[in-house]
């Protein structure tokens, strides 16, 4: 998968560099929307299946109730967005930092001591901060434009105006964030006693590649590449592996990676299809014009609504898998 992710990243960066007019006018938006509607949504569509495995939900224990709780939480977030968008946006950024950091250091919850566990948590937040803030700071003008289209965010726009006015400050900050991410990788592999292993250098090469993407590509391209190619694909793989482990530990049937993948897909498709249908109606019909939300805004609003419950499920899954594998 790593080779495919690198190749896909290089192809998209190459297309955006060789055909800048096409990419800015059509390609970038098509990539972002198609990636979000496919891998982006799909990697969170089996959350109820995973939740059932984590807490042993049976038909008598109310899977419909848990579905209602999950959807209700998304509805509450959407309602809060209307009332207090700045607070919801701040919460979304913090949850995203945690989620991306935890996904990067997947399966590392169980540590031999409280100190090691605390260090691991700090490393996750450092990595997630690099992922979130580097492209935002380097592309402050684009970030401000998106914030303005989403609503009124005077505080968020104020600090972005500083980086927009001072490109050098933005680049220096990005370098420090990148160095922090390298330290996070060193710490993570050090906790696992795998410092300077092959895995470390592979992750380091990914970091350098993404840092170059952040520097030379637009905000939407940078966000799309990380979220779709690197986060969603890797998370899908980790979820299927976790499902495989939990199934084997539970004694339901022997190890069979293919069957676990099929179970995952069957569980995800109905919810994924429903989510795609709703977003497609808003993006490509008059209903979208009625609510006055652009396709790009819908991508970010969809991420804001879906990320908190998805993060909660995967955090529980990570702790369960770490305990089982430990």
> Between the CA of residue 216 and those of 10, 42, 137, 211, 264, what are the distances in Å?
12, 28, 13, 9, 36
Indicate the pTM of the whole model.
Answer: 0.88
Average pLDDT over residues 131-155: 86
Report pLDDT digits (tens) over 48-91.
888 888 876 444 455 677 788 888 999 999 899 888 888 899 99
Q: Which two tokens stand for residue 258?
A: 């293919």
DSSP string, 228-293: IIIIIHHHHHHHHHHHHHHHHHHTSS---HHHHHHHHHHHHHHHHHHHHHHHHHHHHSHHHHHHT-
d(CA 41, CA 277): 11
> What local confidence, expressed as pLDDT, does residue 177 receive?
94
Let me know: does 201 contact 9? Beta carbons within 8 Å. no
Which pLDDT does position 61 carry in this prediction? Answer: 55
Integer Cα distance of 156 and 143 in angstroms: 9
Note the pLDDT of residue 198.
85
Say which residue, 55 or 121, is predicted with more confidence: 121
CA distance 111 to 122: 13
Which residue, among 81, 48, 50, has the nearest Cα to 302 in the 3D structure? Answer: 81
- 141 versus 295: the higher-pLDDT residue is 141
Nearest to 47 by CA among 308, 324, 254, 325: 308
Burial of 65 (0-12, 13-18, 19+ CB in 10 A): exposed
Burial class (CB in 10 A: 0-12, 13-18, 19+), 177: buried
Mean pLDDT of 28-36: 92
Question: What pLDDT is stored for residue 152 in this prediction?
Answer: 65
Dist. CA 307–CA 132, nearest whole Å: 14
Quick one: pLDDT band at residue 308, thresholds 50, 70, 90?
very high
- Whether 256 shows a pLDDT value over 60: the answer reads no
- Lowest mean per-residue pLDDT among 96-105, 209-218, 272-281: 272-281
- Mean pLDDT across 14-32: 92
Question: Is pLDDT above 50 for 305?
Answer: yes
């Amino acid at each position: 998968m790593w080779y495919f992710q690198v190749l896909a990243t290089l192809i998209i960066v190459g297309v955006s560099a060789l055909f800048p007019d096409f990419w800015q006018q059509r390609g970038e938006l098509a990539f972002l929307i198609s990636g979000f509607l496919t891998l982006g949504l799909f990697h969170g569509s089996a959350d109820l299946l995973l939740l059932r495995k984590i807490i042993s939900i049976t038909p008598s224990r109310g899977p419909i109730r848990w579905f209602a709780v999950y959807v209700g939480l998304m509805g509450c977030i959407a309602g809060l967005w209307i009332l207090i968008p700045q607070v919801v946006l701040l919460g979304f950024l913090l949850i995203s930092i945690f989620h991306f950091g935890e996904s990067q250091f997947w399966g590392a919850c169980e540590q031999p001591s409280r100190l090691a566990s605390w260090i691991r948590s700090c490393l996750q937040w450092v990595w997630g901060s690099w992922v979130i803030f580097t492209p935002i700071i380097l592309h402050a003008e684009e970030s401000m434009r998106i914030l303005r289209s989403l609503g009124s965010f005077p505080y968020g726009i104020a600090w972005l105006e500083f980086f927009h006015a001072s490109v050098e400050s933005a680049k220096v900050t990005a370098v420090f964030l990148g160095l922090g991410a390298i330290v996070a990788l060193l710490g993570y592999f050090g906790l696992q006693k795998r410092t300077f292993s092959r895995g470390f250098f592979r992750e380091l090469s990914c970091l350098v590649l993404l840092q170059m993407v952040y520097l030379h590509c637009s905000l939407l391209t940078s966000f799309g590449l990380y979220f779709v190619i690197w986060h969603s694909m890797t998370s899908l793989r980790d979820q299927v592996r976790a499902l495989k482990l939990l199934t084997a530990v539970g004694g339901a049937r022997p190890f069979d990676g293919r069957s676990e993948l099929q179970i995952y897909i069957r569980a995800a498709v109905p919810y994924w299809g429903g989510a795609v249908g709703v977003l497609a109606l808003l993006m490509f019909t008059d209903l979208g014009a009625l609510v006055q939300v652009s396709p790009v805004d819908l991508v970010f609003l969809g991420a804001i609504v879906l990320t908190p419950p998805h993060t909660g499920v995967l955090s529980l899954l990570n702790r369960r898998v770490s305990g089982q594998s430990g």
